Chain A
Amino acid sequence: MRSEYRENRSCMTRNDVSHAGHRVIIGPLSAMNRFAAAIIGGYLFAYGFTALATLAGFRVGLPYSEAQVLAWMLGAFVYLGAILWGFVPRSTMQAWLGLAGGGAAMGAAAFVLSRWTA
């Protein structure tokens, strides 16, 4: 996030964290972008994860509906982790790619593998 600090006259987005003595300043648009990456990207990640995890559970031998329930229970934690991770990468584009991209990959894998009766 350091690469996105900008001078900003508005006090509204100034995050004053006095413990560490740093002043962290970030503009409103890039802040919204970061939150969107974390929340929307995170949702897409959880979406793809849930499908793939259901398929994995089913293939391992669980009844389909139970595999789905397990995937949902894990999915909440996965979404939570994704939101928090979304604030870690230096650039927001990395966050978008990691989360939305990861979700799309898992979703596509679930789509293909569930229809693949080899």
Chain B
Amino acid sequence: MSDGMLHILALAAAIAGMAAFAFMIDAHWRQVFGSRKQTALVRMVAKLCGAGFLALSFVLCTLADPVTMAILVWPMLLGVAAAIVAAFFTSRHGIDRRVDG
């Protein structure tokens, strides 16, 4: 697998992880899942998935580059991933009725 592909997968994993973390927040959960209840179990699963995907992202980064470079690439990818997830929720916010956080 080429380095470029690994980086893209690492970004995808980071996005998945950030999205999972976002679902721990009540307002964002309701934006996507509407009336389904957000229980403590859901929050824990979201937290675990989030951590898991971010860890996977890091592993993919280390496969693409030497470790000293991976530890620079990974946090930057996290920032991009969080921005993308935030943009998603912002766009949904406009479509749905106002959900006050």
A–B direct contact (CB < 8 Å): no
Chain A residues at the B interface, C-beta cutoff of 8 Å: none
Chain B residues at the A interface, C-beta cutoff of 8 Å: none
